[in-house]
């Protein structure tokens, strides 16, 4: 009743284990006839090679890893993550490579997890949520495991990098707000230790030059609300607030409305990430789409190439786009209400 092994298949086909192995790998010529017999035997026994045995023998896990150092509760409301994973998987699926995930909550566990990845669990890793000073980079380098860094990391490294232009849309957005007459534009950033938060905040500062209107949040709705409250209570309050993600933007938006402000007339609001419902809020939320799925695909492809021995490279993908919607519309014109029509197509 125990699972069939390569030996069983070999016996059933009247050959040796090596032949079975090679019939599948193609690493040496096998006559069509025996190949036939081998496949038939395997099919009949429903044999599937043991991944651990194969991994041990080849020193290849046929899996790649992602270690997430996040509070599960935060992961739960993250809009980036599932789309990114979907992108990664769509590539891995084609190569019969699995994805091993591990969520950790402290540094010790994180090191252990990466070590485990490097020691047989995975052939390579994708590193997310880069910090400006990120210990993982030298750590992984020392460990010698193929790695792809996702984000605008500028430190020294020989790892492959997949970057996107997060600053461009921010510049564009601020310029747009200025044109619409806004003079006091605030920004609620994500944790500034993160490269992606930092890049967005940096772009904001470069464009506005108003550090006094910058606040550091943590991507949660709560921080979005609290920092919005703080900004709105300033003597000379901002007329527009940009946020580093949609969740904080929506929380700020709700807070403002609950306190009698109209969006966008009294306060313009913009998010980042283009959550799938952002366009359905009313007024619809201006945001920046970031195509996480595509980033997942590119990162996975890059990593598989690195694992296969290609030389590391830096890839920049053009996938961020400012989506101007009602929440940052110019104040003046009144909203157009569609007619009540009973004629539905």
Partner DNA sequence: ATGAAAGCGCTAACAC
Partner DNA sequence: GTGTTAGCGCTTTCAT
Closest approach, Cβ 75 to DNA, in A, equals: 30
Beta strands in 264-323 (DSSP E): 268-270, 287-289, 314-317, 321-323
Q: Helix, strand, or coil here: 206?
A: helix
Interface with DNA, residue 21, by CB under 7 A: yes
- Could you tell me which stretch among 6-14, 41-49, 162-170, 304-312 binds its own copies (CB under 8 A)? 41-49
Strand order, beta sheet including 268-270: 214-216, 185-189, 240-243, 268-270
Among 29, 33, 179, 280, binds its own copies (CB under 8 A): 280
Burial of 31 (0-12, 13-18, 19+ CB in 10 A): exposed
Span 81-120, contacts to its own copies by CB under 8 A: 81-83, 85-87, 89-90, 92-93, 96, 98-105, 109, 112, 115-116, 118-120
CA 225 – CA 246 distance, rounded (Å): 12
Closest approach, Cβ 205 to its own copies, in A, equals: 25
Span 141-170, contacts to its own copies by CB under 8 A: 144
Span 6-25, contacts to its own copies by CB under 8 A: none
Among 40, 43, 44, 50, binds DNA (CB under 7 A): 50
Among 1, 12, 40, 49, binds DNA (CB under 7 A): 49
Interface with DNA, residue 28, by CB under 7 A: yes
Interface with DNA, residue 340, by CB under 7 A: no
Interface with DNA, residue 47, by CB under 7 A: yes
Instruction: Please choose which of DNA, its own copies, none residue 292 contacts, taking the beta carbon within 5 to 8 angstroms, the exact cut-off set by kind.
Output: its own copies
**Which lies closer to its own copies via its Cβ, residue 241 or residue 278?**
278
Cα Rg, the chain, nearest whole Å? 26
- Closest alpha carbon to 177 in 208, 155, 154: 208
Interface with DNA, residue 34, by CB under 7 A: yes
Instruction: Please choose which of DNA, its own copies, none residue 18 contacts, taking the beta carbon within 5 to 8 angstroms, the exact cut-off set by kind.
Output: DNA
Interface with DNA, residue 94, by CB under 7 A: no
Among 16, 31, 44, 52, binds its own copies (CB under 8 A): 52
- 88, 297 Cβ separation under 8 angstroms: yes
**Which lies closer to its own copies via its Cβ, residue 332 or residue 344?**
344
How many CB atoms sit inside 10 A of residue 142's CB?
9
CA angle 112-115-117, nearest 5°? 110
CA 292 – CA 235 distance, rounded (Å): 39
**Which lies closer to its own copies via its Cβ, residue 143 or residue 205?**
143
CA 41 – CA 33 distance, rounded (Å): 13
Question: Could you say which DSSP state residue 15 is in?
Answer: S
Interface with DNA, residue 6, by CB under 7 A: yes
Q: Helix, strand, or coil here: 241?
A: strand
Span 258-277, contacts to DNA by CB under 7 A: none
Interface with its own copies, residue 121, by CB under 8 A: yes
- 167, 199 Cβ separation under 8 angstroms: yes
- Closest alpha carbon to 60 in 168, 153, 159, 145: 145
- Closest alpha carbon to 252 in 223, 286, 280: 223
Closest approach, Cβ 146 to DNA, in A, equals: 17
Span 98-137, contacts to DNA by CB under 7 A: 119
- Closest alpha carbon to 331 in 271, 282, 270, 264: 264
Among 8, 24, 34, 78, binds its own copies (CB under 8 A): 78
CA 88 – CA 279 distance, rounded (Å): 25
Interface with its own copies, residue 275, by CB under 8 A: yes
Closest approach, Cβ 20 to DNA, in A, equals: 7
Which residues of the shown chain bind DNA in the complex (CB under 7 A)?
2-3, 5-7, 14-22, 24-25, 27-31, 33-35, 47, 49-50, 53-54, 56-59, 119
């Amino acid at each position: 009743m125990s699972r069939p092994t390569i030996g069983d298949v070999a016996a059933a086909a009247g050959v040796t284990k090596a032949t079975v192995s090679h019939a599948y790998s193609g690493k040496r010529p096998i006559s069509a006839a025996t190949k036939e017999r081998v496949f038939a035997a395997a099919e009949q026994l429903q044999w599937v090679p043991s991944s651990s045995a194969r991994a041990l023998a080849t020193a290849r896990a046929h899996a790649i890893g992602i270690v997430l150092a996040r509070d599960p509760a935060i992961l739960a409301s993250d809009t980036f993550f599932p789309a990114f994973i979907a992108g990664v998987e769509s590539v891995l699926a084609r190569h019969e490579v699995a994805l091993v995930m591990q969520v950790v909550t402290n540094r010790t566990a994180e090191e252990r997890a990466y070590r485990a990845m490097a020691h047989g669990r995975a052939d390579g890793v994708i590193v997310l949520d880069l910090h400006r000073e990120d210990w993982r980079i030298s750590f992984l380098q020392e460990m010698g495991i193929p790695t792809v860094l996702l984000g605008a990391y500028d430190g020294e490294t020989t790892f492959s990098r997949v970057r996107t232009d997060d600053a461009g849309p921010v510049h564009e957005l601020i310029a747009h707000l200025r044109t619409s007459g806004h003079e006091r534009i605030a920004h609620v950033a994500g944790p500034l230790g993160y490269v992606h938060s930092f890049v967005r905040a940096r772009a904001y500062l470069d464009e506005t030059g108003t550090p006094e209107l910058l606040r550091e949040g943590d991507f949660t709705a709560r921080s979005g609300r609290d920092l919005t409250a703080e900004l709105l209570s300033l003597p000379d309050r901002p007329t527009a607030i940009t946020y580093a993600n949609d969740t904080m933007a929506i929380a700020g938006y709700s807070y403002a409305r609950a306190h009698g402000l109209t969006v966008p007339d009294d306060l313009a609001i913009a998010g980042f990430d283009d959550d799938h419902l952002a366009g359905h809020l009313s007024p619809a939320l201006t945001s920046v789409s970031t195509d996480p799925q595509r980033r997942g695909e590119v990162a996975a492809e890059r990593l598989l190439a690195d694992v296969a021995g290609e030389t590391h490279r830096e890839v920049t993908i053009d996938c961020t786009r400012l989506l101007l919607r009602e929440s940052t519309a110019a104040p003046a014109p009144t909203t157009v209400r569609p007619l009540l029509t009973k004629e539905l197509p």
